Amino acid sequence: MTEPRPALGELAARLVDLDDESLLDIVRARLFRESVEELPRLGRDEDPADILIDLAEFLRERDYAWTPLTDACARLADVWVDPYRVRARPGPVGELHYLCARIGAVKARHGIAEVIRRADLRGILLPAGEDLQLRALRCLTGLLAQVSRDEREEFLPLFTEALGVPQHLPIALTALVTFDPEGRDRYVARVEESWPMHLDKVLAHLERNVALLQAGVETQVPQR
């Protein structure tokens, strides 16, 4: 018989007072789908990050910022960039990036950007078939909506480079037009020159995608 799943309040009480290294070990183990005493076993249709996202939201609703979790995720993002390790086990990396985006781990942006930047990680697929670098682009875009415009400018060349990959066009162009609206015509012209066969499809959804991302930018408090 399956044991009842502990309530979020009970789980939070186990974790919030842990030291940084202990929490880091728990997050790492969970993302690798390993059992940890402090967390319930993974459910059949549950992703590893789900319980951590639920806990962060539970605490946020009670005006508690679980900073050690965001810091732990940022630390992992900084070290999970080695191409040999990432290629061997891309799943935990993709799950980490998703977790970072969902809990607002803005300090992870540089580590996530490094995964996007690396040519030797091009074409790596996650277990469900999603491109790892596309996942990273999506997650980075969401995190950059939570920082100041000056901080976003550092990443504009990365999104510009991503325009060179057809699968990355929609999210890259959306990010560029949202974060650097003055450069819109230049970015669209680049897509038209490089990928004319994809232009109409990308532009068909651009306004809606930009509006959605812009709403996130306007409602977030910039963080440093």
Q: Does pTM surpass 0.95?
A: no
Structure confidence at residue 221 (pLDDT):
40
pLDDT for 197-224, tens place per residue?
999 999 999 999 999 999 888 665 433 2
Q: Please report the DSSP string for the chain in residue order.
A: -PPPPPPHHHHHHHHTTS-HHHHHHHHHHHHTT---TTSPPPPTT--TTHHHHHHHHHHHTTT---HHHHHHHHHHHHHTT-HHHHHH-HHHHHHHHHHHHHHT-GGGHHHHHHHHH-GGGTT-B-TTS-BHHHHHHHHHHHHHTTB-HHHHHTTHHHHHHHTTSGGGHHHHHHHHHHH-GGGHHHHHHHHHHH-HHHHHHHHHHHHHHHHHHHHHHHHSPPB-
Whole-number average pLDDT of the chain = 93
Reported confidence tier of residue 83, pLDDT bands at 50, 70, 90 = very high
Q: pLDDT digit string (tens) for 51-60?
A: 999 999 999 9
Report the share of the chain in percent with pLDDT over 70: 96
Res. 1: pLDDT tops 80: no
Amino acid at 197: M
Q: Which residues pair with 131 in a beta bridge?
A: 125
Which residue in this structure is represented by tokens 């540089």?
Answer: 110
| The pLDDT of residue 217 | 82
User: What are 13-42's pLDDT values in tens digits?
Assistant: 999 999 999 999 999 999 999 999 999 999
Give φ, ψ of 118 to 5 degrees: -75, 120
